[in-house]
A and B are shown apart, each in its own frame.
Chain A
Amino acid sequence: MDRSRRDFLREIGRITAGAPVALAAGAASAATEPAKGAHRWAMVVDVGKCIGCQACTIACIMENNVPEDSFRTFVSTYEVAQAGQVNAYMLPRLCNHCDNPPCVPVCPVGATFKAADGQVLVDADACVGCGYCVQACPYDARFINKETRTADKCTFCSHRVEAGLLPACVETCVGGARIFGDLADANSAVSRILAERRNEIAVLKPEEKTQPNVFYLGLDPRFAGRVDGAPTLWRPTADHE
């Protein structure tokens, strides 16, 4: 199958899958077009519901044309042996869209910025590809895109959210582990979870004081920072290099 045909089929699939939601949300958003800055987008990840299927990883790659061997989001997976029992532990990772993002002030040309609705975004037309933001991110959530040769990262699928759709990873999550919503709306699912389960909510690397907008339910403190464990790094294209 040639690339254009494959891309065509991919687009068909994308449009088909998103159409009902798009139509419904599009109608709503057209009627009540919110002002920029009216939202504060956030995500809650319920770790207990993640089964490590990597559907979010693949959906993100397909939606955002992420190059081979690069990831805007992925589910890091661990084996935890404790008291004679061995369990799996899954931790979805992505840009934390921090309120105090260390990647923004280091950008020498202002290409990385905090959008009015809370997302941390990159203006790919202005980015010089210096990699300073990649160094500054404490979550290893950024990379230099080998094709665009600019800094790349999760955008909370801002193009989909603006169209009234959910981020691709959220929409595809089979276990409902990723919950996306508007913290500016007190009735949104994320606001309700943060209010009702305040004691269970945690963020990654709280000591960095980055004020993430990605929150975790059921986060094991051993995985909140750099994981102290035996490494088994897997690189999908390592065998082809």
Chain B
Amino acid sequence: MTSSITEILYVGRDPAWAPWAVQYFFLIGLSFASLALSLPGVAFARPAWRGASRMALLGALVCGLAAPVALLSDLAQPGRFMNFYLHPAGSSWMAWGAFFIPFYLGSLLLYAWAALAPDLRAAAAEGGILAPVRRLLGGEARPGLVRALGWLALVAAALVALYTGVEVMVVKARPLWNTALLPFQFAATAFAGAIGLAILFDKLAGDNEPATKALLNRLLAKTLAIVVAIGAIWFAAALALPKSSEAQALAQVANSSVWRLNALWLAAATLVPLVIAAAKPNGSGWLTGVLALNAAWMFRWTIFIGGQDIPKTGAGWYAHPLALGPEGLLGIVGTAGLCLTLFIVLTTLIPWTGRASVATRPAAQIGA
């Protein structure tokens, strides 16, 4: 017997995780993936990776320093953040994350300092108004220490990648989030975004060498291929396993024109930079970098904001227009402004290229 149900009266629920959460997951993802990309050239002195890894280290610092600001801003009671450390609950992945974040940031800063200290000392010798600061921070080359701290930062980055993925994955109430593939999707899109950021930074503050660009674009194409593969596995699971969370999630959104548009946008955001990066690893300029960053951000926006548009008990969708204030658009612009400020400060203080940079020294000397 056919029947139809019309919802006459229901209530809306505002998203508990505002666009700040998107910004946090975007930035921390870019940071831990950039940290991993920095290791071959900076910690292990692989000559082919020198330029790419230094730009990745810059990306890890910019995004890593900005991410906690976005995270604190997403708390309704940011002044109570100390409760994370005074009363941690071991059953919560978020509580573990509160410890992983300072561990990661601390090890990232130590690793970056150890790696860049010789550059700062060399730059201090050239004088200028920043010479006292550079002298203070500068030091001798300690390749062994850089490698050790690089490994430590990698462990911390892996913990951050683990907690950010699992924290969302365990939310059984949201089938879209409750998939074992989500941590891998977060990690893969984070790497794609980090490579895109390195391409962008190389154009803005790096040596802008064709070899570096080709290396990054080839890596981007492979990473985006992995993103596509994980997406295909998600769809296969949704279609083949009717009781799976993937199937439930697909059933929830399949009839929505907005979600169909979202899916198309996500597919285009992944496939277009993949094709360009693979077909033209050199000469694509900023394009693949910007598109890869868009793919990483878009994925998180769809998961977090789109996911919270789906009522858990009611019919239809919650309507969440983007607020213009700090909890919405202003927050997004503000975070971008913070990243830009950090970029300016770090590129002013630290010589990423040029005579004072380790980039001008022979590879053998770096690894010595």
Contact = CB atoms under 8 A, between A and B. Distances in A.
Interface string A148-175: 0110000000000000000000000000
B313 A129 contact: no
Contacts of A238: 12
Contacts of A82: 1-4
B contact patch SS: loop
A126 B81 CA distance: 10
A144 B76 CA distance: 8
B257 interface: no
A135 B174 contact: yes
A205 to B, nearest CB: 8
B8 A231 contact: no
B318 interface: yes
A234 B9 contact: yes
A83 B14 contact: no
A30 interface: no
Contact of A75 (B9, B86, B87, B94): B9
Report, as a range, how many residues of chain A touch the other chain.
35 or more
Contacts of A89: 5
B333 interface: no
Contacts of A74: 9, 11
A104 B92 CA distance: 9
Contacts of B348: none
A69 B12 CA distance: 8
B316 A131 contact: no
Nearest to B95: A108
Interface in A38-78: 52, 69, 71, 74-78
A79 B252 CA distance: 21
A127 interface: yes
B165 to A, nearest CB: 15
A107 interface: yes
B360 interface: no
Interface string B50-85: 000000000000000000000000111100110110
A43 B12 CA distance: 24
A143 B74 CA distance: 14
B20 to A, nearest CB: 11
B10 A128 contact: no
A231 B311 CA distance: 11
Contact of A231 (B83, B97, B314): B314
B19 to A, nearest CB: 13
A201 B54 CA distance: 64
Contacts of B259: none
Nearest to B304: A135
A81 B76 contact: no
Contacts of B95: 108-109
A contact patch SS: loop
A31 interface: no
Interface residues of B, number: 53
B172 A227 contact: no
B229 interface: no
Contact of B311 (A127, A129, A140, A142): A140
B88 interface: yes
A102 B304 CA distance: 19
A69 B14 CA distance: 10
A3 to B, nearest CB: 24
B89 interface: yes
B319 interface: yes
Given A129-B75, A143-B13, A227-B5, A76 B314 contact: yes
Nearest to A205: B313
Contact of B94 (A81, A108, A208, A233): A108
Interface in A90-143: 93, 102, 104-111, 126-132, 134-140, 142-143
B314 A144 contact: no
B83 A140 contact: no
Nearest to A225: B313
A8 B172 CA distance: 44
A34 interface: no
A233 B10 contact: yes
A113 to B, nearest CB: 10
Contact of B170 (A76, A106, A205): A106
Interface of A: 52, 69, 71, 74-83, 88-89, 93, 102, 104-111, 126-132, 134-140, 142-144, 149-150, 204-205, 208, 222, 225-235, 238
9 contacts: A104-B91, A108-B92, A108-B98, A109-B95, A126-B87, A128-B80, A136-B173, A138-B172, A230-B4
A-B pairs, top 5 by smallest CB distance, nearest first, are A231-B316, A129-B76, A131-B16, A229-B5, A134-B16
